[in-house]
A and B are shown apart, each in its own frame.
Chain A
């Protein structure tokens, strides 16, 4: 009788892709809770819509591509793509925004490139970029933070599934521009930063009202991920470090024209981007040195696009641009092999 004789090693730990993705989801929970508390239930509805869409599209594509369905649906990667996209769009955007964006992310950005592990670009950010370019109006109208009439599940549901136009929402004082957007517009009117921030309630204690606390919650989740060794410290540290540094330089040069580093760190999706988006292993650089270069460049690009570019926030474009160069970065940052 011949025994089963595979190649070594014969030993394996019990880690799996699903476990990694689940931990990423757990790490997002505090941020999501704070988000709901500050901006209402819209984000929760968007997350649910995103998950349903992501799993449906994933299943359809797996069938079409004749891949095993159960293990890939269970791996959790599609769910994360959906959740990250839902966290990136305005939480009162009409339902078809998240459905369209998630479907685009899963079908085009993920499966048409070969599915899990083969996508050169971060699928959630591809979805976001597509939405931002195609539907700029819907994508820039955010609910007000700490709104006097808190958007509960029912109100949020009605808003998301209603046919209110962004103009109507703005007129009803439910929504407005994000602080990054507002600051950018007002700076264009030759006001200075301190004046703008002092005279608008879109700005909070540290930076942007509401976003600052969400950022802190994501920061906690992100640090937990590093401790769990799901992500490495290199990308978040390099990205936050370079963004802080460049913001500091310009802030020192002219604090009237350039917002402070703290404002940049705790506004928009900086923290979410640093810990959850730029660290997407599939599309990021993988060597230690490469990750530092990759993170640093993202941080710089974020500042450049935010300050001089055409968009108020820049995580998606900065990440996508760096996705393109990640393989090259990896090639030139090979570690020194033992004995060489």
Chain B
């Protein structure tokens, strides 16, 4: 069915380092004596705690509810007592603290009675499926953590031609998806069929890099067993970042996701294999998402994969792998290319934690060279860029803080995959420069927004004062006119002939007074509108800058509704209830 694959621009065949962690079979990690569960384990609003300190909870019990549409609930990974609800360090590079529910397991690991579930997903309509998936707290397990129920809701007007199951796992060291595909191919295929039904997708393609022969075999067998000819396995070349959504879509379909667009705009949805397996557990067994496969790799005595309950400390996992082989210099959550280095080793595993990578100074590629040399414009970075950007130009502009020029070179299309950085012979931390430039641009736009708002407020204030003044003057004039009219009426009684003349004069006089006042107010308003703006004496570049910012905003405004607004609001209400 899949006739041909496409090669995206650039990419690098990276050293894989995947064998070490695939030698041992998956085992559940030991239940620790404390689980720290952040309320924000996904993209979107943090969940809201619905338990109290001291409360006894069962395994799978909901302990925090979704707050808003883009949110996900949190469930207790095991039975125990809620020990604390408070701020603990998150697995975030800044080392920030945020609200977590701390559970002290009782060791019984006793399940809650699971909600009714159906062994035949076809009896449920897409909306019902989404509600179960949402209630089970399922988010994208590939790394981003976007609530899956939203992804399963492309909106009534969109048809999904192709559902791509992402089993590429292109980052070095990480093997959790590989192990999952080897162990649970059938569950993944079941989940895939459910997802296909929920999306009403026409066909499904399972993409796996060719460095995972066992996973490929296992998945192919499962596909054959199900005998569904709308599902096929695509073996794609091992080249980083093949598993990145945009590159994967291009590899499979030859289509590019439009700028500021989503895959579903071109009729495609991508989903990680882990997420798909979780969807199966939720629909067929009613189980919420409480654990995941995690790779523990790098400088540990026995690299391996474990089935880990959320909230388990990374330190516990490292100890279960025999500890590190030296003093831990760095802890990376995720892969070495796009993962985040953490400040503490005691942070918990959350829904998006796919890999714990320990650097104790023994892995050669993880060490940076001593010196950063100047850019020699060799162009290696542009050769490997999977987005076809010009990384070295972006670097020069970031360095010079030329924030307008850098947007001409599409910095916001950068996916921060790190390819340019990896190959740079001068060892320049390129991605760091791009992050800096992006955040500077965001900051500038926020400042601009603030000053725009302030200016608008000021203008409106001035306008209101003028309007009030004009209204007062008008009232005064009307009173005077009324007085005059009375006087005239008095005079009228004196003489009939005079009265006739006066009446004809009064009305035009009154109306011209009103017109004059309106014109004055208008003129003043216009004048203020001009003078109050600080955009009068702008240079050409500043004008261009503002124009570009406005355009970009407009684009973003156009883009956002597609991602969020195109979802049916009934569904939200239902789930909220």
Chain A, residue nearest B405 (CB): A331
**A321 contacts chain B at the CB level, 8 A cutoff:** no
CB distance from A282 to the nearest CB of B (A): 5
Q: Which 7 A-B pairs have the closest CB atoms?
A: A9-B418, A117-B374, A11-B336, A5-B341, A7-B432, A338-B387, A15-B425
CB distance from B417 to the nearest CB of A (A): 8
In this complex, the interface size class of chain A, counting residues with CB under 8 Å from chain B, is: 35 or more
The answer to whether A337 touches B332, judged by C-beta atoms less than 8 angstroms apart, is no
The answer to whether B93 touches A5, judged by C-beta atoms less than 8 angstroms apart, is yes
The answer to whether A339 touches B246, judged by C-beta atoms less than 8 angstroms apart, is yes
**A306 contacts chain B at the CB level, 8 A cutoff:** no
Other A-B pairs beyond A6-B330, A12-B369, A339-B246, 16, CB < 8 Å: A2-B95, A3-B330, A4-B329, A4-B330, A5-B93, A6-B368, A7-B93, A8-B334, A9-B421, A10-B339, A13-B423, A16-B427, A71-B373, A116-B374, A284-B377, A337-B387
Q: Is the interface of A mostly helix, strand, loop or mixed?
A: loop
**B382 contacts chain A at the CB level, 8 A cutoff:** yes
CB contacts under 8 Å to B, within A103-122, are 115-118
Q: A8-B341, A9-B338, A287-B382 are in contact. Are A338 and B425 (CB under 8 A)?
A: no
The answer to whether B416 touches A8, judged by C-beta atoms less than 8 angstroms apart, is yes
The answer to whether B388 touches A338, judged by C-beta atoms less than 8 angstroms apart, is yes
The answer to whether A3 touches B375, judged by C-beta atoms less than 8 angstroms apart, is no
From the candidates B330, B386, B389, name the one contacting A5 in the complex (CB within 8 A): B330
Interface residues of B (CB under 8 A from A): 8-9, 14, 93, 95, 172, 246, 250, 256-259, 261, 328-332, 334, 336-345, 357, 359, 364-371, 373-380, 382, 386-390, 392-393, 409-410, 413, 416, 418, 421-427, 429, 431-432, 435
CB distance from A232 to the nearest CB of B (A): 7
The answer to whether A339 touches B256, judged by C-beta atoms less than 8 angstroms apart, is yes
- For the complex, what is the distance from the CA of A229 to the CA of B370, rounded to whole Å? 24
**A17 contacts chain B at the CB level, 8 A cutoff:** yes
The answer to whether A3 touches B328, judged by C-beta atoms less than 8 angstroms apart, is yes
The answer to whether B365 touches A12, judged by C-beta atoms less than 8 angstroms apart, is yes
What chain A residues lie within 8 Å of B416 (beta carbons)?
A: 8
CB distance from B427 to the nearest CB of A (A): 7
CB distance from A100 to the nearest CB of B (A): 26
The answer to whether B410 touches A337, judged by C-beta atoms less than 8 angstroms apart, is yes
Contact with B along A276-299 (1 / 0, CB 8 A): 000001101011000000000000
Chain B, residue nearest A334 (CB): B390
What chain A residues lie within 8 Å of B330 (beta carbons)?
A: 3-6, 10
CB distance from B242 to the nearest CB of A (A): 14
Interface residues of A (CB under 8 A from B): 1-17, 19-20, 68, 71-72, 75, 77, 115-118, 229, 232, 281-282, 284, 286-287, 330, 334-340
Which residue among A2, A8, A282, A334 has the maximum number of chain B CB atoms within 10 Å of its CB? A8
- For the complex, what is the distance from the CA of A336 to the CA of B9, rounded to whole Å? 11
Chain A, residue nearest B363 (CB): A11
Q: A7-B432, A16-B425, A337-B410 are in contact. Are A286 and B364 (CB under 8 A)?
A: no
Q: A116-B373, A286-B382, A340-B410 are in contact. Are A8 and B338 (CB under 8 A)?
A: yes
What chain A residues lie within 8 Å of B342 (beta carbons)?
A: 3, 5
The answer to whether B345 touches A3, judged by C-beta atoms less than 8 angstroms apart, is yes
Q: Is the interface of B mostly helix, strand, loop or mixed?
A: loop
From the candidates A11, A115, A287, name the one contacting B14 in the complex (CB within 8 A): A11
Chain A, residue nearest B415 (CB): A338
- For the complex, what is the distance from the CA of A265 to the CA of B390, rounded to whole Å? 33
CB distance from B305 to the nearest CB of A (A): 20
What chain B residues lie within 8 Å of A117 (beta carbons)?
A: 373-377, 426
What chain A residues lie within 8 Å of B421 (beta carbons)?
A: 9, 12
What chain A residues lie within 8 Å of B378 (beta carbons)?
A: 20, 281
The answer to whether A17 touches B373, judged by C-beta atoms less than 8 angstroms apart, is yes
The answer to whether B393 touches A17, judged by C-beta atoms less than 8 angstroms apart, is no
The answer to whether B389 touches A337, judged by C-beta atoms less than 8 angstroms apart, is yes
CB distance from B2 to the nearest CB of A (A): 22
- For the complex, what is the distance from the CA of A330 to the CA of B334, rounded to whole Å? 36
The answer to whether A11 touches B413, judged by C-beta atoms less than 8 angstroms apart, is no
- For the complex, what is the distance from the CA of A8 to the CA of B335, rounded to whole Å? 9
What chain A residues lie within 8 Å of B8 (beta carbons)?
A: 338
What chain B residues lie within 8 Å of A9 (beta carbons)?
A: 336-338, 418, 421-422, 431
CB distance from A88 to the nearest CB of B (A): 21
- For the complex, what is the distance from the CA of A73 to the CA of B425, rounded to whole Å? 16
From the candidates A4, A8, A17, A338, name the one contacting B386 in the complex (CB within 8 A): A338
Q: A8-B340, A8-B418, A286-B382 are in contact. Are A335 and B388 (CB under 8 A)?
A: yes
The answer to whether B341 touches A12, judged by C-beta atoms less than 8 angstroms apart, is no
What chain A residues lie within 8 Å of B371 (beta carbons)?
A: 68, 71
What chain A residues lie within 8 Å of B246 (beta carbons)?
A: 338-339
What chain B residues lie within 8 Å of A338 (beta carbons)?
A: 8-9, 246, 250, 256-257, 386-388, 413
CB distance from A29 to the nearest CB of B (A): 21
What chain B residues lie within 8 Å of A8 (beta carbons)?
A: 332, 334, 336-341, 416, 418, 431
What chain B residues lie within 8 Å of A335 (beta carbons)?
A: 382, 388, 390
The answer to whether B418 touches A281, judged by C-beta atoms less than 8 angstroms apart, is no
Which residue among B95, B378, B416, B423 has the maximum number of chain A CB atoms within 10 Å of its CB? B378
CB distance from B245 to the nearest CB of A (A): 11
What chain A residues lie within 8 Å of B373 (beta carbons)?
A: 16-17, 71-72, 75, 116-117
Which residue among B172, B331, B374 has the maximum number of chain A CB atoms within 10 Å of its CB? B374
The answer to whether B336 touches A116, judged by C-beta atoms less than 8 angstroms apart, is no
CB distance from A43 to the nearest CB of B (A): 26
- For the complex, what is the distance from the CA of A336 to the CA of B409, rounded to whole Å? 10
* A/B interface sample: 23 pairs, CB < 8 A: A7-B429, A7-B431, A8-B418, A9-B338, A9-B431, A11-B172, A11-B422, A20-B376, A20-B378, A20-B425, A71-B370, A71-B371, A72-B373, A330-B393, A334-B409, A335-B382, A335-B390, A337-B259, A337-B388, A338-B9, A338-B388, A339-B246, A340-B410
